Amino acid sequence: MQSLCDGGSEETTMSQPLVIVRISKRLTQHWIAKHEKDGLDEWRLASFVKSQYALHSYDRLSVDVLLFRFRFMKRGGQAMKASLWVREKRINDAITELIMFRGHAEPIES
């Protein structure tokens, strides 16, 4: 019987770089603080960016700037859409740092 740690799964985990997500202090103090009452917080945004980066689900605006888009519901039930601008910084082949530096949210017109 073959164990779960044997096989091709090792190769896929080793090829993916370690991703570190940081949020700029200015974005935290202004944009996230403003939308925290709507259910957005630093942990949720960092988790979203990290997972979407792993899935390659973003738009590349320039060599090092990525745009992530998502939808969420405000606490009152209103649908919103948001965009996050993230700077990608490769430290080496094994480590990538993603730095969120700008955010924008607006209601979805129905």
Residue 106 scores a pLDDT above 50:
yes
Residue 87 domain flag:
yes
pTM, two decimal places = 0.79
Q: How far apart are CA 56 and CA 45, in angstroms?
A: 16
User: How many domains is the chain partitioned into structurally?
Assistant: 1
- pLDDT of 54-89, one tens digit each? 999 999 999 999 999 999 888 788 899 999 999 999
Q: What is the pLDDT of residue 68?
A: 97
Residue 1 domain flag:
no
Segments forming the whole domain that contains residue 82: 16-107
Q: How far apart are CA 31 and CA 45, in angstroms?
A: 12
- pLDDT of 16-41, one tens digit each? 779 999 999 999 888 888 888 888 88
Q: How far apart are CA 98 and CA 93, in angstroms?
A: 14
Q: What is residue 64's DSSP assignment?
A: S
Residue 2 domain flag:
no
Residue 6 scores a pLDDT above 80:
no
Residue 44 domain flag:
yes
Residue 9 domain flag:
no
- The phi and psi torsions of 93 (rounded to 5 degrees) equal -65, -25
